[in-house]
Amino acid sequence: MSHYADLRRGAASHYDRAWHQANPMRLPNEVWDVIVVGAGVAGLAAALEAKKSGAHVLLIEKMGNIGGNSVMSAGMMAVPGTPMQIEAGLVDSIERFEQDLLALGSINQPDRIRILANKALETFLWTQQELGVQWYDDRVEYDEGHSVRRCAILKTESGEGLVYPLYERCVVMGVEIRLNTKLVHIVREPETGMVRGCVVDDGTTSEASTGRFLGTRRGLVITSGGFGTDIGMRMMQNWRLSDRVGTTTQPGSTSEVIRELAAIGAWTMHLQYIHCFPDASPDEKGLGSAWRFARYCAAARGVWIQRETGERFVNERASSDVRSHAILDVLNENGHCHALADARAVERPRSVIFSAKDVEALVARGLVRRYPTLDDLAHDNGISYKRLLATLRTYNKALKAGTDRDAMGRPIERGALPMEESPWYISNILAKIHLCGGGVAIDRYARVLSIEDDRPIMGLYAAGEVTGGLHGVARLTSCGLLDALVFGRIAGMMAADG
């Protein structure tokens, strides 16, 4: 009890200070009905819905461009029951999607998940009908952790296909969007605890000044995304996530907003669950493109091996968190991880958008290396040929014996072929920080909850990756965009309602 009393006192004195610093006269420099902070998918969706509900809306973004991590995403979104799934004869349901999320996340919040799953199809159709977003209408992609093929794919094969239609709609509707405008403080009224706006640094104020106070009449919506690029913050949560581990996230994915939320008395949760992308390549920046070889060829039809031992080190089809931790273990011993495939694995990737032709392009860029013999591959990459051969023999034996799972516990697919055909392909792999599973706590209406009494903080909403509770201990892939859209829309509507 006394611990929470201390937290309460700390938060109250922080927002009291911020309030007086913001404006000693308590008068904002300008006032909006709704201000949205962060122009990724969650922020754009929130701003659009708030505007449609009749509010006067300002969307601020600290970077010089919109899009956040959303625009860099691979453009895959898990949705049960799409016309593409039906066309492909795939049996899926809302309940099955919920189960997949809960099975992996384990401590994630069932009520949050229920909303996400229930609104998934409706949201997907909304992107098509209202925004004109173009999804492949004849393809449904595999993604790790899903018990059925259920990922819709943007025709751009990146988040651009979603972000720009959302942005254009916001502009047409009259949302004001300001770039290079960074939230530095959230302003709570000391007497009532109500959020009355935020203080921003937009480069227009002098150094001595404390920034501009932008007031809100109805609501402040926080959609500032994760903090994957913030090495200090992520190491505070998990010391292994140092600068040796790369990131797929954009430079603006830092922690100042989540720190500010905590300081004004918002609950934060699950912050230590920072999810990595295990299939990434250390030879390119960010997410890059070689991950598709590592995932769809090597992890599905080949193997992942450690250079120093010549052996497999993980079930290549385990959850992305299990695989990431295994890679980090190798990294911490100064080891190196590789994805390995033979000719047949490359001819038949486990993907509806990635083919042998794409592997050729990766070979041409030097991201995947090709060798006429396994011996050449081993020699050139500093791997013991003898040990590598032994590893492949064990794997092939399991395949030929017709067992359900191989020695690492990977389920053996029907029609899987032994690895024995040249040429041979190899790439380097490294887990990179990808998505922050934790963040601020919200309720089903996207209202931010207070440490003072677990109740909503009046006038404050949040959505997207800045929130915690959806992913839990392990991330079900392709749910980030859906989360941002579903809860972004809810937050915008709720904020406009006041």
Contacting residues toward ligand FAD, per CB under 6 A: 37-43, 60-63, 68-70, 72-77, 182-183, 223-225, 248-249, 252-253, 256-257, 286-287, 434-435, 464-465, 478-481, 484
Nearest approach in angstroms of CB 149 to ligand FAD is 15
Cβ nearer to ligand FAD, comparing 59 with 300: 59
Nearest approach in angstroms of CB 399 to ligand FAD is 31
Q: Which phi and psi (to 5°) does residue 337 adopt?
A: -115, 145
In whole angstroms, what is the distance from residue 465 CA to residue 431 CA? Answer: 19
Nearest approach in angstroms of CB 486 to ligand FAD is 11
Cβ nearer to ligand FAD, comparing 226 with 310: 226
Nearest approach in angstroms of CB 41 to ligand FAD is 4
Longest dimension (CA), the chain: 79
Q: Give the list of residues 6+ apart from residue 216 with CB closer than 8 angstroms, or none.
A: 31, 32, 33, 34, 35, 195, 196, 197, 198, 459
Q: Left, alpha or beta for 34 (phi > 0: left; psi -120 to 50: alpha)?
A: beta
Cβ nearer to ligand FAD, comparing 261 with 451: 261
Cβ nearer to ligand FAD, comparing 102 with 399: 102
In this structure, the number of other CB atoms found within 10 A of the CB of residue 397 comes to 13
CA 450, 455, 457, 460: dihedral to nearest 10 degrees? 100
Instruction: Pinpoint the alpha helices (H) of 23-106.
Output: 41-52, 68-72, 83-87, 94-105
Nearest approach in angstroms of CB 366 to ligand FAD is 21
Nearest approach in angstroms of CB 30 to ligand FAD is 16
DSSP three-state, residue 92: coil
Nearest approach in angstroms of CB 85 to ligand FAD is 17
Cβ nearer to ligand FAD, comparing 123 with 224: 224
Nearest approach in angstroms of CB 254 to ligand FAD is 6
Cβ nearer to ligand FAD, comparing 209 with 403: 209
Cβ nearer to ligand FAD, comparing 238 with 394: 238
In whole angstroms, what is the distance from residue 495 CA to residue 498 CA? Answer: 5
In whole angstroms, what is the distance from residue 80 CA to residue 428 CA? Answer: 34
Q: What kind and span of H or E run contains 32?
A: strand 30-37
Summarize the chain as % helix, strand, coil (round to 5).
40, 20, 45
Nearest approach in angstroms of CB 284 to ligand FAD is 12
In this structure, the number of other CB atoms found within 10 A of the CB of residue 85 comes to 20
Cβ nearer to ligand FAD, comparing 48 with 183: 183
Cβ nearer to ligand FAD, comparing 181 with 315: 181
Q: Give the list of residues 6+ apart from residue 105 with CB closer than 8 angstroms, or none.
A: 113, 470, 471, 472, 473, 474, 475, 476
Cβ nearer to ligand FAD, comparing 161 with 193: 161
Nearest approach in angstroms of CB 498 to ligand FAD is 22
Nearest approach in angstroms of CB 353 to ligand FAD is 12
Within 53-133, strands assigned E span 57-60, 76-78
In whole angstroms, what is the distance from residue 32 CA to residue 365 CA? Answer: 50
Q: Give the list of residues 6+ apart from residue 103 with CB closer than 8 angstroms, or none.
A: none
Cβ nearer to ligand FAD, comparing 42 with 416: 42
Question: Angle at which helices 110-129 and 94-105 pack, to 10 degrees?
Answer: 130
Residues 391 and 310: beta-carbon distance below 8 Å: yes
Block residue for tokens 């406009």? 496
